[in-house]
Structure 1
Amino acid sequence: MHLTQSTDLALRALMLLAARDERRSASDLAELLNVAPQHMAKIVQRLRRLGFVGTSRGRGGGVVLADGMTDRPVGEIVRALEGPGEAVDCDHPPCPLSGGCHLRVALRTAQEAFVASLNQTRLSDLVAGPVLLSLALPASAAPSPPEECP
């Protein structure tokens, strides 16, 4: 199964927000994820429309994880981000094999199994551990590397 880049970045942004329960700017998320700020702004707006995050403008504004998001199953989040589409499109252009082909059903079954497997994991499970927490720190708070001896 292949996720779109937008879904991948949206999941990573949600993980960063979940790792540190605090407001972040879209530009901060863009910098941490090494993506253009304009692209991250579009992703944040999509997450807001889906109800996954809240946003506010102005001083002290930014992006915050919506209540209950850390308990949401990852498969549910992926399904919302990816939409209801199927792995293959047999109709555009029309497939000459569609009358007796079982590929669409097999791929739909695999897609459902993929989402069901992801539903066994919650967003909070993805952010457990110190490595992600250290990446989620603002640059000014990140631990500095040890100095080398002369």
Structure 2
Amino acid sequence: MGAPCTRAAKADTRLRHLGVAGARRGRGGGPALTALGRRSFVGRLDRELEGDGEVVECEGDMPCPLRAACRLPGAPRAARAAFRAGLDPLTAADLVTSPTGPVLLGLTERPPP
């Protein structure tokens, strides 16, 4: 259960470093988008958070046994590029306007099964 929280904490730290997220203090406080964050394009933020590394790791400690006969070279990379192209026109503010924003604010962490 620690991995998702660790990933979220790393993303939060990175977003703060980029100047797109901050925190509000006091009652009702918590994470918040900055003015820059509201104007930031989601595709750019994805690139900043995820980088441009390979989507599927073919080499490494345990190389893929299909690498010599793979029919998918480049397909995951092209899929990621298409995904990001779809996100490029959207800003973070677009994602949190009504009706989505109020629903996001009402979400709570699910208890472990």
- Please tell me the TM-score bracket, short chain as reference: 0.5 to 0.7
> Which is higher, the Rg of structure 1 or of structure 2?
1
Indicate the residue corresponding to 2:86 in structure 1.
117
Distance 1:103 1:132 in 2: 38
SS across alignment from 1:104: coil
Normalised TM-score (structure 2): 0.62
Give aligned pairs, total. 102
Runs of 5+ unmatched residues, structure 2? 107-113
**Structure with the greater relative contact order (CA < 8 A, sep ≥ 6): 1 or 2?**
1
Distance 1:96 1:63 in 2: 43
Runs of 5+ unmatched residues, structure 1? 7-35, 138-150
Residue 134 of structure 1 and its aligned partner are, at CA, apart by 7.1
Residue 39 of structure 1 and its aligned partner are, at CA, apart by 7.7
Distance 2:50 2:14 in 1: 11
Q: Percent identity?
A: 38
Indicate the residue corresponding to 1:67 in structure 2.
35
Normalised TM-score (structure 1): 0.50
2:63 to 91, 94, 107: 94
**Contact 2:19–2:37 (8 Å) recurs in 1:** no
**Contact 1:88–1:104 (8 Å) recurs in 2:** no
Distance 1:128 1:78 in 2: 19
Residue 77 of structure 1 and its aligned partner are, at CA, apart by 1.2
Residue 54 of structure 1 and its aligned partner are, at CA, apart by 3.8
